[in-house]
């Protein structure tokens, strides 16, 4: 099958009016950006879907790349033909063969779906469907007709520009295009959870700015490298991710010196949120995302969350709040962050782990524990010393 174009479908039918057109523009832009390694590829918006002109590039790697773009529901490689029965038949046969090859069922059922927008083409849709269906039945033995519940459908569109024929459909990730929901700050540790949380937030259309708290020399350069590698993987999915590295050593040292051991994690988290909130104002981030999952550790009980949250008015998104660890780990493997996350370098939270952290810290207790800290100055200094680094999607090297 001589594929020269992809049809890209998207969902979220609830989107209307302005929103819909913004959504389409952003999605088309993101698809074009994801395909920049493929010379000459052109992305076009037409009537409720996106069309990718391959310009001689092979369909398979381009399809794979498009399926990874958030917001894409499915992709079909399409053959364009001239408007003659012979050409349409050849294309329909080729498309059906290809679909049978990639189908899991050995014997399978099909139908031909014809749409004739170009009424100058002399054969009406039902007759053309019967004619093409008959030819497919003759040529491909394993196929039977089922017009109600076919395993595969050969689509034939007869348009002014020519015939469009396709039968294969590859599933995309769904979601919303990155950039359609605004920018948020992801609290990115080197662990398994927060990169997955960031990925899920991106899938709902947010652009990520990662914020990492680094406590050099308590935590090593390699621990930071790990976080940079995670930011790179997230950028490969979402186009780009800016990483803010907060120097957190001073804050941690002060907490250790002045705060009761069993409340140190609570206070540390509150300091993280205060600093993140300040960065959010500076960089115009609308919310913060964390990898917290209910009950996973002492600082992730509802009581803890309440006390930690009390320092900020920003919405805190917790995409993993109801997820089990095994499911989070599976997702981490799928998106390519797991192997980086399990590297053994220490995190700033693991170095000062108290013997028995409070699981139900109260707000007034946390406030009392903070009285001997110069909170405002610590926050200000940490924000002033924060460094930024941009990660952009890497062009695939395997083409």
State the Cα torsion 313-315-318-319 to the nearest 10°: 180
**Cβ contact 163:128 at 8 Å:** no
Which 284-303 residues touch ligand ATP, going by CB under 6 A? 290-292, 296-297, 299-300
**Residue 315's Cα: distance from chain center in Å?**
20
What is the residue-wise DSSP string for 291-311? ---TTSSGGGSHHHHHHHHTT
Our finding on whether 81 is near ligand ATP (CB under 6 A) is: no
Contacted entry of ligand ATP, Mg ion, none for residue 297, CB cut-off 5 to 8 Å set by kind = ligand ATP
Of the candidate residues 57, 189, 304, 337, the single one contacting ligand ATP (CB under 6 A): 189
Which 339-358 residues touch ligand ATP, going by CB under 6 A? 347-349
For tokens 């990169």, the residue is 195
Of the candidate residues 30, 76, 194, 337, the single one contacting ligand ATP (CB under 6 A): 194
Which 126-185 residues touch ligand ATP, going by CB under 6 A? none
Of the candidate residues 191, 239, 319, 361, the single one contacting ligand ATP (CB under 6 A): 191
Tell the smallest beta-carbon distance from residue 223 to ligand ATP (Å).
Answer: 9
Our finding on whether 191 is near Mg ion (CB under 5 A) is: yes
Look at residue 127 and give its three-state secondary structure.
Answer: helix
Contacted entry of Mg ion, ligand ATP, none for residue 375, CB cut-off 5 to 8 Å set by kind = none
Identify the helix (H) or strand (E) that includes residue 258.
helix 249-258
In the bound state, the residue with its beta carbon closest to Mg ion is 191
Return the number of the residue (99 or 187) whose C-beta is nearest ligand ATP. 187
Of the candidate residues 52, 188, 206, 317, the single one contacting ligand ATP (CB under 6 A): 188
Contacted entry of ligand ATP, Mg ion, none for residue 188, CB cut-off 5 to 8 Å set by kind = ligand ATP
Return the number of the residue (98 or 300) whose C-beta is nearest ligand ATP. 300
Sequence-ordered list of residues with C-beta below 8 angstroms from that of 96, at least 6 positions apart, any chain: 110, 136, 140, 143, 152, 154, 167
Tell the smallest beta-carbon distance from residue 300 to ligand ATP (Å).
Answer: 6
The dihedral of CA 178, 389, 36, 340: what is its sign? negative
In the bound state, the residue with its beta carbon closest to ligand ATP is 191
Nearest to 267 by CA among 152, 390, 354, 380: 354
Tell the smallest beta-carbon distance from residue 347 to ligand ATP (Å).
Answer: 5
Sequence-ordered list of residues with C-beta below 8 angstroms from that of 365, at least 6 positions apart, any chain: 263, 307, 358
What is the residue-wise DSSP string for 60-106? HHHHHHHHTSTTEEEEEEEEEE-SSHHHHHHHHHHHHHHHHHH-S-S
Return the number of the residue (133 or 319) whose C-beta is nearest ligand ATP. 319
Vertex 325 angle, CA 333 and 178, to 5°: 55
Token pair, residue 47, equals 């009537």
Of the candidate residues 212, 240, 278, 358, the single one contacting ligand ATP (CB under 6 A): 212
Tell the smallest beta-carbon distance from residue 63 to ligand ATP (Å).
Answer: 33
Tell the smallest beta-carbon distance from residue 7 to ligand ATP (Å).
Answer: 38
Helix 249-258 vs helix 264-282: crossing angle, to nearest 10:
150
Tell the smallest beta-carbon distance from residue 297 to Mg ion (Å).
Answer: 8
For tokens 């406590």, the residue is 215
Of the candidate residues 89, 189, 299, 304, the single one contacting Mg ion (CB under 5 A): 189
Contacted entry of ligand ATP, Mg ion, none for residue 296, CB cut-off 5 to 8 Å set by kind = ligand ATP
Token pair, residue 287, equals 């919310």
Tell the smallest beta-carbon distance from residue 106 to Mg ion (Å).
Answer: 48
DSSP annotation of 356: S
What is the residue-wise DSSP string for 188-200? --SSSHHHHHHHH
Of the candidate residues 193, 207, 209, 277, the single one contacting ligand ATP (CB under 6 A): 193
Instruction: Name the site residues for ligand ATP (rule: CB under 6 A).
Output: 187-189, 191-194, 211-213, 290-292, 296-297, 299-300, 347-349
Chain contacts with Mg ion (rule: CB under 5 A): 189, 191
């Amino acid at each position: 099958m001589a594929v020269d174009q992809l049809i890209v479908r998207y969902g979220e039918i609830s989107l209307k009016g302005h929103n819909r057109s913004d959504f389409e523009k952003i999605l088309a832009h993101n698809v074009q950006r994801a395909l920049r390694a493929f010379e000459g590829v052109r992305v076009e918006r037409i009537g409720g879907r996106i069309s990718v002109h391959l310009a001689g590039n092979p369909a398979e790697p381009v399809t794979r790349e498009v399926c990874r773009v958030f917001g894409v529901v499915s992709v079909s490689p399409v053959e364009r033909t001239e408007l003659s029965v012979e050409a349409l038949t050849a294309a329909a046969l080729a498309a059906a063969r290809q679909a049978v090859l990639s189908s899991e069922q050995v014997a399978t059922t099909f139908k031909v779906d014809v749409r004739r927008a170009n009424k100058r083409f002399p054969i009406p849709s039902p007759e053309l469907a019967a004619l093409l269906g008959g030819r497919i039945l003759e040529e491909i033995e394993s196929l039977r007709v089922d017009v109600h519940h076919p395993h595969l459908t050969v689509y034939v569109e007869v348009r002014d520009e020519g015939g469009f024929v396709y039968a294969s459909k590859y599933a995309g990730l769904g979601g919303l295009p990155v950039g359609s929901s605004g920018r948020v700050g992801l609290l990115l540790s080197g662990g398994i959870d927060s990169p997955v949380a960031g990925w899920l937030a991106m899938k709902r259309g947010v652009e990520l700015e990662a914020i990492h708290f680094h406590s050099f020399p308590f935590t090593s350069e390699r621990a930071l490298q790990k976080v940079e590698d995670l930011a790179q993987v997230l950028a490969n999915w979402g186009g780009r991710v800016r990483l803010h590295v907060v120097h957190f050593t001073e804050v941690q040292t002060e907490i250790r010196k002045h705060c009761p051991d069993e409340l140190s994690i609570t206070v540390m988290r509150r300091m993280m949120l205060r600093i993140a909130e300040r960065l959010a104002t500076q960089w115009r981030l609308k919310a913060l995302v964390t990898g917290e999952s209910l009950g996973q550790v002492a600082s992730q009980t509802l009581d803890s969350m309440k006390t930690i949250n009390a320092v900020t008015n920003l919405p805190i998104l917790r995409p993993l709040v109801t997820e089990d660890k095994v499911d989070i780990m599976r997702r981490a493997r799928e998106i390519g962050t797991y192997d980086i996350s399990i590297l053994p370098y220490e995190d700033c939270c693991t170095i000062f782990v108290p013997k028995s952290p409070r699981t139900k810290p109260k707000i007034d207790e946390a406030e009392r524990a903070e009285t001997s800290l110069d909170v405002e100055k610590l926050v200000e200094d940490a924000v002033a010393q924060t460094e930024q680094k941009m990660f952009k999607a890497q062009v695939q090297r395997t083409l």
